[in-house]
Copies of this chain bind each other. A is one copy, B any other.
Amino acid sequence: MTASTPQRQLHLNINALHSGFVPSAWRLPRSDVRAFVDVQHYVRLARIAEAGKFDAIFLADNASIADQIHFRPITALEPTLLLASVAAATTHIGLVATVSTSYNEPYNIARRFATLDHLSGGRAGWNVVTTADAGSARNFGRSAPIEHGQRYARADEFTRIVKALWDSWEDDAFIGDKNTGRFVDTGKLAPVAHHGTFFDVHGPLNLPRPPQGHPVLFQAGGSADGRELAALHAEAVFSASQSFEEALAYKREINARAEALGRGPHAVKILPGLTTIIGATEAQARQRRDELVELIPWDYSLNRLAGTLGIPVERLRLDAPLPEKIALPADGNHTFFRATLALARRERLTVRELIRELAGGGGHRVIVGTPDQIADDIEHWFRHGAADGFNLMPDALPDGLQDFVDGVVPILQRRGIFRTEYEGTTLRQHLGLQRPAGRTVTRAAA
C-alpha cells in the first residue's frame, strides 16, 4: 500500500446505554444514578465520543419496561427527542436512534428522521427494529407480539415506504425565490401512492428531502428474517458475535445476501457489539470486572439469562452448565440467544462462569484488558474481515468511554486504522457511504 492509497478505516459507535453496559454500573461511586433521565449525561457522552472522533452515538429503545428495574436503569427517554437535544450540543458526531416498525406509522417515522437529519445537518441514522416482547404488545392493543415472519414482512414494507417518502421531493424542489414568489416547484414532488399488505400511504412527505438523501439505515439482524431484512435495507448492522469465527461467518453471510440482491460486494458495514472493561494492567481490569459482577444480585442475572434463553429460571443452576436442550424461542432476540448459547457451549461454562464472562449482560462480547490488549483485539477483527468497526458499549458511563477515548483511540490512530480528524460533516461521509440519488419525478408543475 502506498501513501496515496488511503487505508480502510475502522468505524466506532458509542452505544449510550444510560449508566453503562454492566447492570451494576449505576452503583459505582462516580456514577450518576439519575443518568438514565438526564439529557446532560447523554450530551456529555456525545461530546466525549466526538472528541474521540467516533462515527456516531447510538441509542437503543423499548416500548415497555424491558428489564428488572427494581435493580437497574432502563431505556427511558425517547431516543429521537434525546438525539435532537444532543444535536444542538454537538457538530460532527452521527446520531442513530432505534425506532420500531411494529408499533408506529411509516409517515410519522419518515418525518421524524427527516427532521432529525435537517436539524443536525445530515447526521441522522435510523436503527430499524421489530418489537418482539409481550410487554410492548400489551401497550399497543395486542395480547401477544406480532408473529415473527409478519413482523419482518411489516418491517420491510415499512422501510420501503419510509425511503419512498424521503424521495418524494427531488433534491432541488425547494426554490424560495422572493422575486417570482415561487416557493416550491410542485412538479418535483410526487406521491408515494403505496398500497401494500400492511400500509396504504399516499404522500408526498411534508418536508424537503433530508440532507443525506436518506438518513443512514442500521439494523441488527440475528434471525433468518432479520438477516434478510439487513441484506435488503441496512447500510450498517449492529451484530452480536462472541467469537471471531462467528463474526467472520456473519459478515460474509450478510454481504453475500446483499450481493445476491444486487447491492454490490461490500454493501453492508458490520459493527459487532463490544463491551470493554479497561485497566492499566490485565489484572486490574479483571478485578474491576469481578467487582462489577459482585455488585449484581445473582437473582437478577439468573432471571436475565433465563429471559435471553427463553426458559424458566428454575432450569438454571449457578454451578452447573446450561441445560442440554434449549430451543430457539419463537419470539425474543435470536441474536442474543445464539451468541449466549454459543459462548457457554464453546467454553463449557457453568451458569456462574457464563454470567461472569458476560459481565451480567445479555449476549454481547466482553473484553477485559489493557488499552493495548483491546486495541490488538479490535485490530485483529478489523484487519481480518470479521468487522468493519464496533458498537462500543463500555462497562460504565461516562468513565468507560473516557478511558477508551484516552487509552485505546490513540493506539488505533497510531496504527493508521482510525481517523484523527473528521473528513466530512455527515454520518454518511463518516461511514464512507454514497448519498442515495433519489427519484426524478419532474413533471409540469400543477
> B-contacting residues of A (Cβ < 8 Å)?
24, 26-29, 31, 33-34, 37, 39, 43, 62-66, 69-78, 80-82, 84-85, 87-89, 103-105, 107-108, 111-112, 115-116, 118-119, 135, 138-142, 174, 176, 178, 181-186, 189, 199-204, 206-208, 295, 297, 445-446
Contact = CB atoms under 8 A, between A and B. Distances in A.
B140 A105 contact: yes
A119 B63 contact: no
Contacts of A104: 105, 108
A167 to B, nearest CB: 15
Contacts of A184: 69-70
Contact of A77 (B105, B115, B140): B115
A71 B26 contact: no
A285 B112 CA distance: 39
Contact of A186 (B70, B201, B204): B70
Given A66-B206, A135-B202, A140-B201, 18 more contacts: A26-B178, A37-B118, A39-B87, A39-B119, A69-B186, A70-B183, A77-B207, A81-B119, A82-B119, A85-B85, A103-B105, A103-B108, A105-B140, A107-B139, A138-B200, A139-B201, A141-B200, A181-B295
A244 to B, nearest CB: 35
Given A103-B108, A118-B37, A139-B201, A63 B206 contact: yes
* Interface secondary structure of A, over-half rule: loop
Contact of A115 (B78, B116, B189): B78
A252 B26 CA distance: 52
Contacts of A141: 199-201
A428 to B, nearest CB: 18
A238 B84 CA distance: 26
A27 B76 contact: no
Contacts of A29: 178
Nearest to A31: B178
A115 B206 contact: no
A33 B177 CA distance: 8
A366 B14 CA distance: 51
- Return the 3 tightest CB-CB contacts between A and B, nearest first: A33-B176, A76-B207, A138-B202
Contacts of A70: 182-186, 445-446
